[in-house]
């Protein structure tokens, strides 16, 4: 149960960080209404001291740290969480995938699938409906159906944020909260 709640919190943190996250500009689009300047991998690190990561980026860290990265590709995206504890090698977990559009400096993302492992379920992709069914059926998951629906409605709802790209920096803004991500080489 503790592992499932930790995973649930990871998903919610990921959604909140991206959702509660500047000034937008459009850097060129494809025929699919997406800014091709977003294509690539962008990372966000949660930590405090300097070390280098095997992926070729600098990050701040403690003995325990977490990093999210977003992979954008012509209207599709994936969200990963990388974590490390003490001297263990980093572990990357694919959390979610979906589609996005851009217009006038605004990116709108729609999560379509979440990995079951994020909730302690079998490996594989879960749609909103499949995840709802699994959460309700899990007797160890201590949320009412209405609480589950509220969480899933928030998680699977389209999310729009202002964005700008300057060189290798992606800046996101929503409700006055600013988040900066760096392009991964």
Class of domain 2-183: mainly beta
- Quote the pLDDT of residue 49: 44
Where helices occur in the chain by DSSP H, the ranges are 2-19, 128-137, 145-156
- Other CB atoms closer than 10 Å to residue 55's CB: what's the count? 15
> What residues of the chain score a pLDDT lower than 70?
1-32, 45-66, 84-89
- Quote the pLDDT of residue 32: 63
- Quote the pLDDT of residue 33: 86
- Quote the pLDDT of residue 86: 62
- Other CB atoms closer than 10 Å to residue 28's CB: what's the count? 10
- Quote the pLDDT of residue 88: 67
Dihedral of CA atoms 66, 78, 70, 48 in degrees, nearest 10, equals: 0
| Residue 23: closest CA among 184, 180, 157 | 180
The whole model's pTM is what?
Answer: 0.73
Task: Tell me the three state secondary structure of residue 166.
Answer: strand
């Amino acid at each position: 149960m503790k592992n499932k709640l930790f995973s649930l919190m990871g998903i919610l943190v990921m959604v909140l960080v991206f959702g509660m996250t500047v000034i937008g500009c459009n850097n060129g689009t494809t025929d699919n209404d997406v800014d091709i300047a977003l294509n690539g991998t962008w990372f966000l690190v949660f930590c405090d001291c300097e070390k280098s990561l095997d992926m070729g980026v600098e990050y701040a860290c403690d003995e325990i740290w977490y990093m999210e990265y977003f992979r954008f590709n012509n209207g599709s995206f994936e969200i990963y969480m990388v974590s490390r504890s003490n001297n263990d090698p980093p572990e990357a977990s694919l959390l979610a995938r979906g589609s996005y559009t851009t217009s006038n400096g605004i990116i709108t993302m729609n999560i379509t699938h979440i990995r079951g492992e994020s909730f302690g379920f079998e490996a594989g992709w879960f749609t909103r409906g499949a995840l709802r069914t699994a959460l309700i059926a899990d007797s160890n998951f201590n949320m009412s159906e209405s609480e589950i629906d509220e969480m899933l409605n928030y998680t699977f709802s389209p999310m729009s944020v202002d964005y700008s790209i300057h060189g290798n920096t992606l800046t996101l803004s929503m409700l006055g909260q600013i988040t900066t991500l760096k392009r991964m080489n």
